[in-house]
Amino acid sequence: MSTDEKNNNLEEALEVSSDIMEKKQNWAGFVETTVVNFFVECKLEKLNIEDGRGNKAKLARQKDDTIKVEYTSTTTL
């Protein structure tokens, strides 16, 4: 494998890695903004969501009226 081929493979791997991180951040951003706003507006006590691609989130209202948010993201390489 030539140096140019190695550089191209490395650049492609970095682009894929960057895309994965952006999607992960987008899920976290979506949960922490849009989903939390929906949760508050609808005065819900608990909410579980899943996008079918391994991303999941749980929201629960605490006794002191704060909102506990847990989310996971799954990436297939």
Query: One digit per residue, pLDDT tens: the chain, 77 residues?
Result: 565 665 566 566 556 555 656 655 688 888 999 999 999 999 999 999 998 888 999 999 999 999 999 998 776 67
Q: What is the model's pLDDT at position 34?
A: 92
Q: What is the pTM of this model?
A: 0.65
User: Which among 53, 57, 52 has a CA at the least distance from the CA of 29?
Assistant: 57
Q: Is 77 helix (H, G, I), strand (E, B) or coil?
A: coil
Where do runs of H (alpha helix) occur along 1-77? Answer: 3-30, 36-41
CA 29, chain centre distance (Å): 7
* Predicted pLDDT at 61: 96
The answer to whether residues 70 and 57 touch, using CB atoms and an 8 Å cutoff, is yes
